[in-house]
Amino acid sequence: MAEHRYARQTILPEIGADGQQKLAKARVVIVGCGGLGSPAAAYLAGAGIGALRLVDGDRPETTNLHRQPFYDADADGTKVQQLARHLSRLNPDVKVSTVPKALTPDNARVLLTGATLVLDGTDDARTKHLISDACVKLGIPLVYAAAQGFGGYVALFENRPGGINLRDVYPAPDPSLPDCATAGVLPTAVGIVALLQANAALCYLLGIGDPPVDRLLTYQALDNSQHRVKLRKTYFDPIPAPWSATCPEVDRDALEVVADTLTPPGYDAVYSMLSNAREPELPTGVRRLDQRNPLGQCLREMEDDKRYLLYCNSGKLSLVLAAQIKKERPAVEVVSLRGGIKGVGMN
């Protein structure tokens, strides 16, 4: 039965029975099972990857469904649970395990250790660096991907000692980078980027073709153009293990606040991370953060022992920024508006 299932790919001389055995032995971890991770998981399962671990703490939402067609916002289960059911129906030969929680410094080593390959399907700058740093320390190849608007990026980092990694592209997490909830995304664009990511993973595992190792593959949906940019080693600082004592973690739960308005009382200043286009008129008393260097502006303007509130569209980017500020200036009292402007019913 398995031979019949994979007949249309094993007939390819570049794959054959030996290639199929390589896929069957592979253990792939997919972190983030949204618009990128779920299609990539489906095609990897269909191809016969031996074991897939799905890591995502979110539940499906109605606003996800235009680009995440495997989910039902009204059905039971988290994203990883619903996706696992689909993959099991698609290919019962694949061993699928689910982790219905976010990847954190506390669980990264346990969840990633032993993987043949990791796929990054997240849309949070801080989490992307956590995944990359963990893969560097564990020596696990990583297929990075990101998508928003009408395009996206894919890169494959082998994470060999002294090799190129995500920090050579982005030296540090940039909280000003918008997510899909803020910038929007064309569903076909994110789907195509997901398949480019899955294709890079398959070619790498099979040892065929020319996957984008140490290259940034860009895709633009409006004209279907692709470009490959060769990456250079530019980051030479030591990368601490994200789970070590040398890389302290800020309590993210303590950095969020729920409010019914963008300008609740009790704060010395409120900062918006939204662009002029997204928020043409600021509420009274709100300051707009520089899109190019929001962290630098906050560190210059915020004073110790005063209280500050940050907000963005969905609450994700402002939470990342609040965590960065607390690491740099622990005496500053800064919190993120949970749910952003969506959470207060303004989106």
* 180 is a catalytic site residue: yes
Long-range contacts of 295-304 (CB under 8 A, 24+ apart): 295/175, 295/321, 295/324, 295/325, 295/328, 298/271, 298/325, 298/334, 299/325, 299/328, 299/329, 301/269, 302/269, 302/329, 302/332, 302/334, 303/268, 303/332, 304/329, 304/331, 304/332
Q: Which two tokens stand for residue 128?
A: 């992307």
Q: Which residue has the tokens 């954190």?
A: 104
Spot the catalytic one: 135, 180, 298, 312.
180
Chain length of the chain: 347
- Read off φ and ψ for residue 238, nearest 5 degrees: -60, 140
Contact 286, 262 (CB under 8 A): yes
Q: Report CA-CA distances (Å) from 204 to 54, 116, 169, 211, 335.
A: 20, 11, 21, 6, 42
Q: Which residues are catalytic?
A: 180
